[in-house]
């Protein structure tokens, strides 16, 4: 029997420099995709997968994230007075029971591994999810549920994994394995951001993980790795040999909202899946292409 997954950690303390200037004064995780911010998708998936405790690792200038989980009294009252009950109900539906959302401050953005370590006292006993909200995964079954189901089979650590073109491996942690096929791949090594010719495979780690609590002791001792950051990938690599570590080729589509282009693509992809917007967006795209839409002057 594997332990149930009670906590999910959402590291949201990064500066999001690849999406500047949009992220100068709002957190990257508050960027909207269609009609809701990235954090909304990530937390909803975890809650629907049965996770009780939501831990946000925040930093300075991230107040908008905390407000998103709070009652907005003036807004609520205004919607009520104007009879906008549907909007009011939708906003209220997202609110979690008081005490379910915990905030931990990462005082300096020293890397994803460091952010996860900062959550060590907030996470309940047992395995926990880590989800980077800018890696949006959409499909029939959420990545949270898929990771939890995989973990029930394998125990240990499970990382979301995806095949990428070899030329792009340098953007990811890459999996070294003896058996690269199938949905659940046993991992014998992980290399952070390798050169294409040095990559052990083209199976890349996406920032959705299910980790055992042992990872905290490893992170406690860990030094900075690639890019001068304390890398979560290095800590997961250190788990190999102590506990099973698997890559899960998740089903669904991953939309990388950590870059401006990726975020734009995510909005288009999600709008095209949206019953209300699909036809209008398709029409707009077609029309824009035909008219060779004029470029806005540079700002």
| Minimum gap (Å) between residue 260 Cβ and ligand UTP | 10
E runs forming strands in the chain: 7-11, 32-33, 36-37, 53-58, 101-105, 128-131, 135-138, 157-163, 173-176, 184-186, 189-192, 203-211, 245-249, 253-256
- If one counts every other C-beta atom within 10 angstroms of the C-beta of residue 63, the result is 11
Closest CA to 44 of 6, 93, 104: 93
Is the Cβ of residue 112 or residue 235 nearer to ligand UTP in the bound state? 112
Is the Cβ of residue 79 or residue 161 nearer to ligand UTP in the bound state? 161
| Minimum gap (Å) between residue 112 Cβ and ligand UTP | 5
- If one counts every other C-beta atom within 10 angstroms of the C-beta of residue 197, the result is 7
Is the Cβ of residue 110 or residue 240 nearer to ligand UTP in the bound state? 110
| Minimum gap (Å) between residue 62 Cβ and ligand UTP | 9
Is the Cβ of residue 208 or residue 246 nearer to ligand UTP in the bound state? 208
| Minimum gap (Å) between residue 255 Cβ and ligand UTP | 14
Is the Cβ of residue 14 or residue 225 nearer to ligand UTP in the bound state? 14
- How far apart CA 290 and CA 148 sit, in angstroms, is 46
What are the backbone angles phi and psi of residue 57, rounded to the nearest 5°?
-95, 105
- How far apart CA 97 and CA 39 sit, in angstroms, is 17
Which 3 state secondary structure label does DSSP give 71? coil
| Minimum gap (Å) between residue 118 Cβ and ligand UTP | 8
N residues, the chain:
299
Which residue has the CB atom at the shortest distance from ligand UTP? 14
* Residues at the site binding ligand UTP, with contacts judged by CB under 6 A: 11-18, 28-29, 57, 106, 109-112, 114-115, 132-134, 207, 258
């Amino acid at each position: 029997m594997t332990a149930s997954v009670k906590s999910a950690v959402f590291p949201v303390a990064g500066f999001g420099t690849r999406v500047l200037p949009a992220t100068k004064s709002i957190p990257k995780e508050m960027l909207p995709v269609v009609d809701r911010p990235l954090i909304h998708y990530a937390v909803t998936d975890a809650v629907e997968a049965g996770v009780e405790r939501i831990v946000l690792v925040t930093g300075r200038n991230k107040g908008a994230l905390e407000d998103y989980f709070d009652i907005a009294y003036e807004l609520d009252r205004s919607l009520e007075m104007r009879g906008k009950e549907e909007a009011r109900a939708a906003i209220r539906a997202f609110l979690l029971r008081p005490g379910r959302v915990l905030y931990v401050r990462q005082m300096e953005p020293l890397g994803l591994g460091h952010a996860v370590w900062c959550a060590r006292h907030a996470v309940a006993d047992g395995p926990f999810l880590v989800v980077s909200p800018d890696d949006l995964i959409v499909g029939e079954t959420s990545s949270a549920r898929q990771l939890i189901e995989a973990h029930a089979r394998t125990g240990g650590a499970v990382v979301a994994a995806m095949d990428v073109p070899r030329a792009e491996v340098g953007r990811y942690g890459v999996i070294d394995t003896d058996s690269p096929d199938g949905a659940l791949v046993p991992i014998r090594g992980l290399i952070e951001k390798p050169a294409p010719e040095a990559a052990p495979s083209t199976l890349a780690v996406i920032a959705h993980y299910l980790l055992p609590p042992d990872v905290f002791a490893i992170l406690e001792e860990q030094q900075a790795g690639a890019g001068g950051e304390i890398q979560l990938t290095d800590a997961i690599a250190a788990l190999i040999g102590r506990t099973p570590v698997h890559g899960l080729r998740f089903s669904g589509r991953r939309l990388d909202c950590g870059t401006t282009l990726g975020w734009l693509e995510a909005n288009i992809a999600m709008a095209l899946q949206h019953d209300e917007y699909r036809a209008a967006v398709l029409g707009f795209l077609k029309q824009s292409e035909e008219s060779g839409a004029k470029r806005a002057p540079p700002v």
